Structures are given as C-alpha cells and as structure tokens.
Amino acid sequence: MTPKGKSVKGGNHGPAVPRTLHGIGASPGIVVGRILVLRRHTRRAGWYHLPPQQVELEVARFRRAAAMAEDELVRLRSQFAAELADSMSIIDSHILMIHDRMILDCSIEIITEQKINAEWALAQALVRIKKKFDLIADPYIKARYNDIKYVADRVFGLLSGRETDKLTAAGEQVIVVAHDFSPEETIRMRSENILGFITEKGGVTSHTAIVARSLGIPAVVGIEHITMDCASGDTVILDGLSGRVYLDPTPDQRNRFLEDEKRQRASSEELDFYTHLDSETVDGHRVRLGANIEMLDELDSVLRYGGEGIGLFRSEFDYFSRGGKPDEEVLLATYRQLLETLAPMPVTIRTLDVGGDKFSKYVHANGACYDYERNPAMGLRSIRFSLREPALFKTQVRAMLRASVYGHLRILLPMISSREEVHRVKEIMDCVRHELTRADIPFDPRVEIGIMIEVPSTVIMADTLAAEVDFFSIGTNDLIQYSLAIDRGNEYVAHMYEPFHPAVLRMIKQTVDAGHANGIEVALCGEMAGEVMTAAVLLGLGLDELSMRPPAIPHVKRLLRNSCSRQLAELGDQVLQCRDGREVREFLAAYLPWFYPQEFGEP
Amino acid sequence: MKPLEKELTVNNPNGVHGRVASHLARIAGTYDATVHLVYEKTAIDCTAILDVLSMGLVYGTRLKIRIGGREREKAMAEVEKLFSRRDDP
C-alpha cells in the first residue's frame, strides 16, 4: 500500500462541506486529524506463461516469498508477544496458513503444471479456497476467508517486490483510510503513531477490530466508498465509539473535539494513576463506576480502566454473531465467563433488547414472522418482544440463572413501560426457577432484578415500580428521545436532542428520589455517564452508579475524587433551577471551572 | 499399531474457527502422531489449517478424530481437551 498521489498537507477539493458518515464503531476513542488514503497497490506483475526451463526458478521464487512472509510474521509476533494474547494467536493462525497445503503446495503445483508465474498461480489457488469457503454456512467461520486474503496479499506483495509499505507520511500523525487493513497492519499502527483508522470493509467481530480494541487504536469500519469520498489531507473527526466520522468538520466541531483530545491526552498518564483508586469523593461518598460492554473481548478493558463491575452488558451479540439462535449452553458460557472474571463485582446483564424485525429469519416457533414496522421505536421490541416469544426469553433467563452461581449477577429488563410487564417477567422467572430446582440445577436465589428507566411512564410511576424491583437503571439515550420526541437519527431534529433539557434532569432526579425512598439503588447507563460535563451533573443528582464505556471510567473517577458530596448536591440543586438547556450549559460553564480546573480549564 | 479413534463434539460457541484450527494444527505438529479429522466421510489432516477451516465445523457438530503414531494417546488427550473447551485457546 502506498499513499495516494496527493501530499498529506492541504485539502484538495473546493470549499469543504461538512459531512457526517455513519459506520460501525469498531474500537472506541475520539481522534481528530488529517486523512491519509491508502490504496491497495495492484502493482500487476502481470500474469504470464513460463518457458519450461524457468519453472524451477519460479517455484523457488514463490517459496522464497512465502518464507519471507512467514519471517515477517514471526518477527512481528516476537515484538509484542507477552502483552497481547488475542492478537498473537491471530498471527499464529496466519503463520500456519502461509505454509498450508492449499496455499503453498497448491500454488507450486499450479506453477509446475500450467507453467505460469507465481502470482497467477497463487491467485488461482485463492479462487479454489474461496470456492470451498463459499460453501460454509456459518458466517463466523466463513469470514475467516478474509484472513487467508491478508496472508496471500502479503505473499503477493513480496513477490512483486513491494517496498516496505509505510503507513505514515512525512512524520505527521494521520488517520488512515483504506478499503481494509489486516490485523498485522493494525498492530504496526501503534509503532507508527497512527491516530486511528477508517475502512470500507469489516465488522465488530473481524480480527482487525479485535486487534484495534486490544491496542486502543480508535477505529470505524464499514463505511462504503470512504476511500472515494475523501482525499488525503482532508480533516476528519473519528469517533470510534459511535461509529461516526465527521468529514471536513466546521471550525466549531473541530475545536470542541480538539480540545477534548488535548485534554484527554494531557491527562491520560495521570489518569492511569486513578485506575486503582476507590471511586469516592474526598469525604468518602462512594459512587460505583461500572462499564458498558457487549462482548467478552472487552473484559480486558473493563479491568484495565478500573471498572467496578459491569453496569450494562448488552446481550444481543450472541444472537446475531452466528447463523441460528444461540442455545442455552452458548449463553451460559458467555454469562459464566463474565461473572467469573469480575466476581465479586456485580455484572448487570440486560435481557435481549432488539426489535422483532431482526428476528424474522429464525423465530418461527409459532409460525409468526415479524413484518416491517412503521414505527419500530414504539413497536415490538425489547421486553415486549421477549414476552411475546416466551420460549426464547426463557432460554435466556435459564442461562442467566444457571450462571448466577459463578459471581454476582443482576438482571436488567429493558424498555419496561408498565407494572404488568414486570409481573409477567417475574412469573416466567419463577417458572424457570422451579424447573431448575426440580432438575437439581443450582442457581443463586438472591439474583437482583432491575428495570431500565427509559420510557417516561416509568419515571412517573417510579415510586410504585421501586417496590417491585431491586434496582433501577436509567437509560438516558432512549429516555431523552422518548420524552423530547426526538429521533437522533433524523437530521432535521437531531440538534434538538438535549441531555441538559431540564425535563430530562428532573426525570432523573425524580427517579433517584423514588428509588432511594424505597431503599433501592439507582444507576445510569447512557452516554451521559461517560462525558465529564454531564457526569458532573449526574453525580450532583445523587446516582449510586454510573456505567459507561470503559475508557471513560478514569476521567469520571478523577472528577468524583476531586468532589465533595456537599458541593455535588449544591451543583444538582442549581441545575434543577434552570429553565432550559442553555441556562444549564451557561451555569455549568461558569461553575465547573471553579471546582474542576483540571477538567474544565482555569476560570 | 492400531490408530485411536474417538467421536467428539465441537463445544466452542463460534465453532472451529481460526484459533481453534491453529491450535489443532499445533497439537498435530507437536507430537509424533498423525491427526486426522473425519467428517461427512472425508478424512483431513489436521496440520492443514485451511482444510480444517473449510469444513465449516459449527458449534455442536459431531465428528471423529483418528490418531496414529507413537504418541497417539498423548495427542488424543490434548485434542479432547481442545474440543471440550468453550472458550478460545
């Protein structure tokens, strides 16, 4: 791969128009920088027939390239070995692939039999492998063909005399954009000071994404045509959490993100120091800081950033990562690993939180097939879907209860809108407990059951609901959308999405008060928990737990440790007096720097 | 010397994917033994990772492992351990 013609300095297409592109957040982190577009250099050595006397030489040339490719991988592996177990086993499998019969022997056979050059032979060998993999039904295993491509590309590159492919240009830190990156290229990004990367291909489970997460390189994948839509030198903001990419951002957007970035970088070393300190105020008021995750791969980062358990485990991944719906054993394996790894810290697992449409493929227990919905946000989703498909739900509940003996489990029910739903879930749970008891399968009888507070009706009824459950968890992302009637994905109204809307703040306060009056904990697990400015307000509103993406934990912990409970309560009182979102922001802009100069600059 | 044969089930929720297949190949390479995987009437040599992968062995698949050679028992023990695991090696 080589940089595309243009130099990295200076954008190149007319007046820049800010654009937002949506991809898949593969590895969290926000970075701002110039783009370097990398194109796979199809430096065609050409495909040609060989004179008979050259066949031997060609085979030797191919063997040499394969051996060199292997050497490269072995060397890469040795540089990192200890710290990155996941990444290493991926490289190990690539090493094996290089001298696999289907690549090595097969290519050599084709060279000798057809008397053609090595590049052509390898391409043919790949086609044969591809045919075999196309027959595999399981999407996870099928996707491993990508790994074979990476390995073959490496050999292609060496055959055609590629120069060492530099990822950086002129020493400037860049955000690299390409059709795809191999896991090995991703590993190298760390030593080459790449800020982050964007690709056209890929998903959350690709090996490239796994490596990016383990190295902490922000990445967005799956943006089609991105290599066409931007050019080297363009400025871009990459948000690896939301999967959003802002091309040619406005000066405002840019400054805001740059400031965040600067602040984060300046404090990242200091933040490491906070990882293992208690999360409490100077006067000893404790607030639990948990992690939001959706995959087992992320457990490492929970521990690395000092998460005190998991405040939100999104359980959907097991349902979509492979062909059919997962059976109880698969779910149990996931839940058990979560609980065992973090015990005795609490692990909050949210039951399936998706729309029925996503299941049309394989939920046919009663012959039902779910149609397209005109308004899915208010349709058959989350707990409503689970209650409509009790067999599916029971399997998940059984797996959770069986896992409960391995640690501290809390079950979280999403999108509850009435007391009746809680009762129906409890009936199902009782039924499952009964079955388990009868089958002599152990489970923890004290598993806590909580509900998400994300539909406004539950805020209003929070005092009643608090008597029914063991904890509340406020899901602000949806609560804001439902209460302000704003679809964040709608470009015309997205700007009206306002976490500091006094209605939102009062709802949070009301929920906290109702919970505490009934002696239950109130947690909050929306994006608001992971931003220092909103987190300060939330601490002021008296939440017992904030749960956020793992890298945000040390930031919020430092904020908490620099607070005292009286001052937080005062902050909470003050924001509740404000009449609109702007007043809240103005108040905070004036107030926060006095108490948190590190986070918000000297007043 | 008669080869050992055993019927096993894939317990890894993601099936026999890259890391599982490469661990299998490593076992086959470590011991003085030839390890074959028999599935749907095809026997494949486990040192060939792509052959193993391209079988598309998903969670719950029943298959047969056949091991010959001097250290076949040790190798079989390792293979059994690998297939009984739910997590990635």
In this structure, the answer to whether residues A37 and A67 fall within a common structural domain is: no
State the total domains in chain A: 3
Per-residue confidence (pLDDT) for residue A32, from 0 to 100:
86
Q: Which residues in chain B touch residue A90, judged by CB atoms under 8 angstroms apart?
A: 18-19
Nearest to A175 by CA among A118, A144, A217: A217
Is residue A69 one of the residues assigned to a domain? yes
Question: Is the per-residue pLDDT at A101 higher than 60?
Answer: yes
Query: Does B25 sit within 8 Å of A90, measured CB to CB?
Result: no
Query: Does A318 sit within 8 Å of B13, measured CB to CB?
Result: yes
Tell me the pLDDT band of A158, cut-offs 50, 70 and 90: confident
Region A455-474: mean pLDDT is: 97
Q: Which regions of A202-352 does DSSP assign to beta strands (E)?
A: 219-221, 235-239, 244-247, 288-293, 310-314, 346-350
pLDDT in tens, A569-599: 999 999 999 999 999 999 998 888 888 877 7
Phi, psi of B36 (to 5 degrees): -120, 145
> A568 is written with which tokens?
């937080």
Q: What is the CATH number of the domain that holds A546?
A: 3.20.20.60
Q: What is the CATH number of the domain that holds A24?
A: 3.50.30.10
Beta bridge pairs of residue A169: A172
Region A178-204: mean pLDDT is: 82
- Higher-pLDDT residue of A192 and A50 is A50
Q: Known catalytic residue: A106? A: no
Question: Nearest CA of chain B to the CA of A90: how many Å?
Answer: 7
User: What Å distances lie between residue A460 and A418, A453, A463, CA to CA?
Assistant: 11, 10, 8
Tell me the pLDDT band of A11, cut-offs 50, 70 and 90: very low
Q: What is the CATH number of the domain that holds A143?
A: 1.10.274.10
**Hey, is A198 helix, strand or coil?**
strand
In this structure, the answer to whether residues A81 and A189 fall within a common structural domain is: no
Tell me the pLDDT band of A365, cut-offs 50, 70 and 90: very low
Buried/exposed code over A107-136 (b: 16+ C-beta within 10 A; e: otherwise): bbebbeeebbbbbbbbbbbbeebeebbeeb
**Hey, is B8 helix, strand or coil?**
strand
Per-residue confidence (pLDDT) for residue A520, from 0 to 100:
97
> A97 is written with which tokens?
């692939």
In this structure, the answer to whether residues A405 and A480 fall within a common structural domain is: yes
Choose among A129, A135, A141: nearest Cβ to B17: A141
Q: Is A85 on the interface with B (CB under 8 A)?
A: no
Q: Which residues in chain B touch residue A103, judged by CB atoms under 8 angstroms apart?
A: 50
Per-residue confidence (pLDDT) for residue A387, from 0 to 100:
95
Query: Does A92 sit within 8 Å of B49, measured CB to CB?
Result: no
Q: Where is the domain boundary, A128, A159, A190?
A: A159
**Hey, is A24 helix, strand or coil?**
strand
In this structure, the answer to whether residues A64 and A208 fall within a common structural domain is: no
User: What Å distances lie between residue A421 and A67, A353, A426, A467, B33, CA to CA?
Assistant: 62, 15, 9, 14, 59
Question: Is the per-residue pLDDT at A106 higher than 80?
Answer: yes
Chain B contact residues (CB < 8 Å to A): 13-19, 21-22, 25-26, 45, 48-51, 53-54, 56-60, 86-89
Is residue A244 one of the residues assigned to a domain? yes
Q: Where in the sequence is the domain holding A206, given as residue range(s)?
A: 2-41+173-254
In this structure, the answer to whether residues A193 and A317 fall within a common structural domain is: no
Query: Does B16 sit within 8 Å of A136, measured CB to CB?
Result: no
Q: Which residues in chain A touch residue B52, judged by CB atoms under 8 angstroms apart?
A: none
Per-residue confidence (pLDDT) for residue A219, from 0 to 100:
93
Is residue A268 one of the residues assigned to a domain? no
Tell me the pLDDT band of A469, cut-offs 50, 70 and 90: very high
Strands A219-221 and A24-27 turn out to be: antiparallel
Query: Does B22 sit within 8 Å of A144, measured CB to CB?
Result: no
Q: How far apart are CA B6 and CA B18, in angstroms?
A: 22
User: What Å distances lie between residue A215 and A125, A183, A187, A260, A424, CA to CA?
Assistant: 33, 11, 7, 21, 44
Per-residue confidence (pLDDT) for residue A207, from 0 to 100:
78
Q: Is A128 on the interface with B (CB under 8 A)?
A: no
**Hey, is A471 helix, strand or coil?**
strand
Which residue out of A93, A99, A132, A146 would a mutagenesis test of the B interface target, given it has the greatest number of B Cβ atoms within 10 Å?
A: A93
Beta bridge pairs of residue A22: A244
In this structure, the answer to whether residues A148 and A90 fall within a common structural domain is: yes
Domain boundaries, given as residue ranges, for chain B: 4-84
Question: Is the per-residue pLDDT at A471 higher than 90?
Answer: yes
Q: Is A326 on the interface with B (CB under 8 A)?
A: yes
Which value, in Å, is the radius of gyration of the alpha carbons in chain B? 12
Contact A343, A408 (CB under 8 A): yes
Nearest to A279 by CA among A584, A559, A30, A582: A559
Per-residue confidence (pLDDT) for residue A167, from 0 to 100:
62
Residue of chain B whose alpha carbon sits nearest to that of A144: B18
A579, with CB counted inside 10 A (0-12, 13-18, 19+), is exposed
Q: Known catalytic residue: A207? A: yes
Q: Which residues in chain A touch residue B22, judged by CB atoms under 8 angstroms apart?
A: 89, 92-93, 96
Q: Is A135 on the interface with B (CB under 8 A)?
A: yes
Catalytic residue among A94, A408, A501, A525: A525
Q: How far apart are CA A384 and CA A371, in angstroms?
A: 15
Tell me the pLDDT band of A356, cut-offs 50, 70 and 90: low
Q: How far apart are CA A360 and CA A370, in angstroms?
A: 5
In words, the CATH class of domain B4-84 is alpha beta
In this structure, the answer to whether residues A291 and A375 fall within a common structural domain is: yes
Residue of chain A whose alpha carbon sits nearest to that of B23: A93
Nearest to B18 by CA among A134, A90, A125, A323: A90
**Interface size, chain A vs chain B, as Cβ–Cβ contacts under 8 Å:** 86
| Sign of the four-CA dihedral A468, A472, A478, A482 | positive
Nearest to A412 by CA among A312, A482, A479, A525: A312
Query: Does A333 sit within 8 Å of B56, measured CB to CB?
Result: no
In this structure, the answer to whether residues A350 and A203 fall within a common structural domain is: no
Choose among B22, B25, B50: nearest Cβ to A148: B50
Q: Among A44-58, A263-277, A346-360, A362-376, which is the least confidently predicted range?
A: A362-376
Is residue A259 one of the residues assigned to a domain? no
Which residue out of B12, B27, B46, B50 would a mutagenesis test of the A interface target, given it has the greatest number of A Cβ atoms within 10 Å?
A: B50
Region A178-195: mean pLDDT is: 82
Tell me the pLDDT band of A4, cut-offs 50, 70 and 90: very low
Q: What is the DSSP string of A46-70?
A: ---B--GGGHHHHHHHHHHHHHHHH
Is residue A261 one of the residues assigned to a domain? no
Query: Does B13 sit within 8 Å of A322, measured CB to CB?
Result: yes
Helices (H) and strands (E) in chain B, counts: 3, 4
End-to-end CA distance of chain B: 31
In this structure, the answer to whether residues A33 and A58 fall within a common structural domain is: no
Q: How far apart are CA A487 and CA A481, in angstroms?
A: 6
In this structure, the answer to whether residues A243 and A371 fall within a common structural domain is: no
Per-residue confidence (pLDDT) for residue B26, from 0 to 100:
86
Q: How far apart are CA A206 and CA A400, in angstroms?
A: 27
Catalytic residue among A94, A106, A207, A501: A207
In this structure, the answer to whether residues A512 and A571 fall within a common structural domain is: yes
Q: Is A130 on the interface with B (CB under 8 A)?
A: no
Q: Is A84 on the interface with B (CB under 8 A)?
A: no
Question: Nearest CA of chain A to the CA of B45: how many Å?
Answer: 10
- Token pair 């023990």 is found at B77
- Chain B neighbours among A 176-235 (CB < 8 Å)? 207
User: What Å distances lie between residue A3 and A34, A158, A168, A408, B41, CA to CA?
Assistant: 13, 18, 8, 51, 49
Per-residue confidence (pLDDT) for residue A166, from 0 to 100:
59
Residue of chain A whose alpha carbon sits nearest to that of B54: A133
Residue of chain B whose alpha carbon sits nearest to that of A137: B56
DSSP B11: -
Per-residue confidence (pLDDT) for residue A165, from 0 to 100:
52
Q: ipTM score of the complex?
A: 0.76
Q: What percent of chain A has pLDDT over 90?
A: 44
- Token pair 């999407």 is found at A139
> A390 is written with which tokens?
């009790």
Q: What is the DSSP string of A506-525?
A: HHHHHHHHHHHHTT-EEEE-
Q: How far apart are CA A370 and CA A555, in angstroms?
A: 43
Contact A553, A289 (CB under 8 A): yes
Question: Is the per-residue pLDDT at A164 higher than 50?
Answer: no
